[in-house]
Structure 1
Amino acid sequence: MATHAQGGPLARLLVLAVLHVNFIALGLEPDFLYPLENVTIAQGRDAMFTCVVNNLGGYRVAWIKADTKAILAIHEHVITNNARLSVTHNDYNTWTLNIRGVKREDRGQYMCQVNTDPMKMQTAFLEVVIPPDIIYEETSGDMMVPEGGSAKLVCKARGYPPPKIVWRREDGGDIISRGGPQGKTKVTSLEGEIVNLTKVTRSEMGAYLCIAANGVPPSVSKRIMLHVHFHPLVQVPNQLVGAPTGTDVTLQCHVEASPKAINYWTRENGEMIISNDKYQMTEINSSAYSVQMRLVIRNIQRSDLGGYKCISKNSIGDAEGNIRLYEMELPNRKRDDDDRDYSIEETNDVRSSLQGPLREGGPRDEDAGFLGGGGPATGAAPALTVSATFLITTLALATC
């Protein structure tokens, strides 16, 4: 056993030689069992090529970089000075070339070769892909333009295959293109490294996303903020506001401005209003450039009536809106007064209707008095006089 151990390498060579002679005698030559497969790998990951050879005998397997003709390894011995390369053998018929941490320069044609005469070989291609990466020094940053001006957005990226650039608005709005052969067009996405925006309006203000993708994950993007500057614009929904005294009322103004404006309220005489128990001022953002101003006036008194101004100022200009506050009666109070008036009128009507029968209905007081009844009612004397005269005249005519 010791002699066998000491002669191990020699014995192995003898076995290989015998096998080689036997393969030649039998007419068996090395043959590739499977084709060498192409490999596509992302930069930085590990790649491998597997070569399966039957009937190798005493021949050798070599790995060669075909495009540079550089010998990489023979059998399990790496020849090239590259620590990232290694070859493994399963002691039967499979040889594997391993490339750790693939780099772009590793891309190319690889050959598994057997030193027969003529030589036998098979090749495969190593494709090294690189995820996209934004080239920040060549890509636009946040920018500011006046309303009506132009903006040029640029985005560049590297990677392999070369990345495709797509633009979108972060808020999902349209990208507006003007001046092209089709005139004004609106699209939700735009392809290309450059986006030209002309006659920019405030509605185009916002974040634009430059997205680079080449099929190799992950995709990357950069956010570019477009600021559109314009002087303030104030809109007043209700310029005339009525409220009863003793109640609370809210005055509102809508303001659009960029850059952000300073907003405040004053009385019509120029007196600035500050927040306290009487006044409460709030602002609600509607968009990147619009805000709703609100002024709540509590427990309105007659001294609170009159004009109010909402004022907005930024570095470009200023604007104001005017609101007039007047006193208004509560609807329920008015109904109470109407009801009271109606009751008075109804009472008068009832009294009138009740007075009629006292003068005109039933047996009349004057007749009762003439026939011996109770004394005549007050104010019935004229009626009695007429009745007596009528009876005397009748009797006289009858006598004649």
Structure 2
Amino acid sequence: MIYNGILCSVVELTYTKMRGYTVFCNFMTISTVVYLLRAELIDDPKGAGQDALPILVNWPDKNVQITCTKQKDQVDDKILWYHGEHTFISYGAHKPSNNDYSVKKNSYGEIELTIKKISKGTLGKYSCVNGNTNRKIKTVELKIIEKPSIVNHSNTTLTITEGNTTELWCEVESVIEYKIDWFLHDDRLDLPVGINGSRLTIVNITRHCSAIYRCLVTNAKGNNSVDFDVIVIHKPMVKIEVNTTHDNVVTKKTDVKISKKKKITVECIINAEPRTDYIEWSVGKKRIGSWNKTSGLLETYKPFKARYILTKDEPTISSAHEILKLQILKPSKDDVGTFKCSATNTVDSQTAEVELV
């Protein structure tokens, strides 16, 4: 499969208590990204003192009923209904104190509470209590069926050093079944993530994995998403291209024959994150000139000012590269030699070279 020019294949791996997938990305170098999908359980709704599953409702449902299980030696007038912890509704089958509710005894002799219309004020937990013992017989919670919410997630901007591991995650809240899909750029990763795939781990991250990743959660009511901008910090990647008047392009380590009839421009093309702080051209052991981020100035050193011109192209929307160009004004035998370009950022430095003969 291809994601925005990234050729990827998916291979299933086996892990203890989890399933994982490896995505191989083919660029200038082959790198590996491993996605580990960690299982996460939905909270058991019977926890926190509840003894019944939530009642799922929609806006604005009517006549939602909750039944208080009949107890041995039950005294009906001693069955109390509460909304939340302390809001009293009714006792026995007597008329409730609030017109939002009605109470009756059903054919099984159980006390039944009816919520006439679902609203924000009628959501929450309901309890029926044995008034003799003050013990809760039953607690149930009304929950609205809505599209899933992402209630927490990892940082939306992550800066990771190349070779390290990073983890993206989104914590989902949904009262009905949901699924999670992960996207790279705008293309869905072809992984059977499902409900338990709320964590995406990228192992041995490379510069080619800098991208926008998305966690998309979906249930029957709709979807929600959060985007993560993953920025991989790496040392400069440097290459040299040589252009003559005939538009011949020569790459690194290729000999270029000097000709007085041809103008030569040597381009130092750099990809770095963060951007470079310093770039320098040299020939042999002699420094030709440099660019310094601090001053923002290009400087051609005195012995070469009459022979060479330095210019710099900044990164653009269409190209992330910085280019420091060295133009040889009148090529001659004095320009024969090994030309080197060195680029430095906060991570490290890198050098490329070309031979002019």
TM-score (norm 1): 0.45
Highest RCO, 1 vs 2 (Cα 8 Å, sep ≥ 6): 2
Greater helix share, structure number: 1
Greater strand share, structure number: 2
TM-score (norm 2): 0.49
Higher Cα Rg, which structure: 1
